Structure 1
């Protein structure tokens, strides 16, 4: 390889690296947003709607396979325009209502742009798959420019995530040729997972109502706030100024 070819290869490698880094930074920024939402919600409501999160960055090889499969021209602008799931974020919640609560909180943030919604909870796939899919653009600030980067966000309950994970493993084992009997059993299992979600949501609502009734009598905690692991007593003068005393 000549010196000129070597330099061209280095430039191309750097360009591809920066392209992939933008998606990695988008996931980092998105994860920070979720951490803020989790902490704030925990402080205000003594409850965290997010059980856990998992991010995923497609490999260049996987991106190329998808581009060839779809018949798109191979260039970085073409990849950015046509492959919308290079960066993926999965958010797992306890309850169905949490899914839409988190979706609303994300969509209310002015720097995020909602591109597409696919609601497989209200409209499940024929195999029983349920999840809320969002395509969201998030700004990423590089050293010399700002990039609008697309992130695919999947929000689902623990039961939905458990079913989807096992369904994927079964399909992988059978190399997509799953017997009809097992397909029906998978669909039945998906329906059972939905019934469990609805039952646990009802129980959660009833327990929350009981707790709220019990908390109404504990006036001593009203003059205290907790930030991270620190507890602060609110001064009476501050409460009076703000109309709280």
Structure 2
């Protein structure tokens, strides 16, 4: 034994040794706790997941020293016995209001009280909850949390675990705070400013939760609310993009740009990807998206590096090829488009950049080149002629859009282009009887499109 070693480190090492020696017991306890809770909430539709963790040796050491547990307890056994979060259990639900609902279910199911004042269920006699504390609890940062100290008896051994109940946005917020503040021991100048920024983000997330709840309620109530729900989805996703990437950009390069148009474009693109999915699948996809944003916040993002596609882009038609090639040329020369594609590729990180770009161009094609927009043309002309005229029109549109390539191409410009397409089709139907006649006057049609676009 090293006589010069501080006693607190000997105490810490002894505690870690107990943790390591009992890993199999703790793993078994985690498995049983998860199974009991899963059965308990099997009929609760708003439950998202039950996540668990066993405190790591490094985290245990840090907690003993940071919280000065070496001053409160004399032995490693005493520290382990009084460590409330040796095991952590997180019940994750959809919305903030579900947190209180889950607590009420626990209170209803665990309504028997033992001599220690802990509550249990007669069907699960070895799981105990301390339900005496007022909920939600107020944390040091002033924010609320549903947190319960619990015990699980396994192989005649008491194992402490901490149960937390969090909505999607509160899980997202906790991870941000944990990574940025709680686990960050670096000296941070202007810490009050950082805390104000975090408080603002927290407030925005509360707003997002309310919007998500509203969208969910509208979807459940009636399909008649679909238009309103889509608007709310757009707002919720745009806000999520903004809150995540503004913070990441400021953290990385020290300044931000106006994200509104970028957020609107990406949110509109994402919503339209989910638009034709059944309600349940759309909700699942959206909730997966929220989890993905949580993951993105933990990544390192280099905002100054060039973006590359993994191969040559081949468009589905002339529109996609012409406009796609133009956007590729903007990808590393126009900062707004650079930021747009950087964010898009981060969000769609389960596919490579080329696939994500191709999907994006397919969405633009759906907006401006899809044959359904040209149905009047196909009613008046034979299909072969209509196909060739459609190809000519979309080619001109691609060049027209490429001239400016506004970042608002799906958002505010959408109505303008759809009106232009309608007017061009009407003009062609009134003035030409065949593709050959159209071809003879193609230059006039091109000039008309350009003229109307510039109005």
Structure with more helix by fraction: 2
Q: How far apart, in 2, do the equivalents of 1:104 and 1:26 lie? A: 24
Indicate if the aligned counterparts of 1:115 and 1:135 stay in contact, CA closer than 8 A. Answer: yes
SS of 2:186's partner is coil
Partner residue of 2:34 out of 13, 31, 34: 31
Query: Could you tell me which residue of structure 2 aligns to residue 66 of structure 1?
Result: 63
Q: Which of 138, 162, 180 matches 1:170?
A: 180
The one of the two structures with greater contact order (alpha-carbon pairs below 8 A, sep at least 6) is: 1
Deviations along 1:162-219, one digit per CA (max 9) or x if unpaired, are 11111222224562636221210110111111122233224433443448xxxxxxxx
Q: How big is the shift at 1:126?
A: 6.2
Higher share in strand? 1
Q: 3-state DSSP class of the match of 1:73?
A: coil
Matches of 1:114 and 1:32 in 2, distance apart?
Answer: 16
Preserved CA contact (<8 Å) 2:169 2:205 = yes
| Secondary structure in 1 matching 2:49 | strand
Matches of 2:89 and 2:187, distance apart in 1: 25
Q: Deviations over 1:100-151 (max 9, x none)?
A: 222233341403322254645xx654646443111122232x2xxx233221
Cα distance, 1:61 vs structure 2: 4.7
> Which residue is equivalent to 1:220?
none
Structure-1 residue corresponding to 2:48: 51
In the alignment, what sits opposite 2:201? Answer: 189
Q: 2:220 aligns with which of 208, 211, 224?
A: 208
Of 129-138 and 17-26, deviating more is 17-26
Aligned-partner Cα distance in 1 for 2:48–2:62: 33
Which residue, 163, 171, 185 being the options, matches 1:153? 163
Root-mean-square deviation (CA, aligned residues, Å) is 3.1
Is contact 1:131-1:155 (8 Å) kept? Answer: yes
Please name the residue that 1:221 is paired with: none
1:17 Cα deviation from its structure 2 partner:
5.0
CA distance, structure 2, for counterparts of residue 187 and residue 61 of structure 1? 29
Query: How far does residue 153 in structure 1 lie from its aligned partner after superposition?
Result: 1.0
Conserved 8 A contact 1:63-1:83? no
Going from structure 1 to structure 2, the CA distance change for 1:210 and 1:90 (only over 3 Å counts) comes to same
**The residue matched to 1:41 in structure 2 has which SS?**
coil
**What TM-score, normalized by structure 1, do the two folds share?**
0.63
Partner of 2:81: 81
Offset of 1:52 from its aligned partner?
Answer: 2.2
2:100 is aligned with 1:96: no
The match for 2:43 is 41
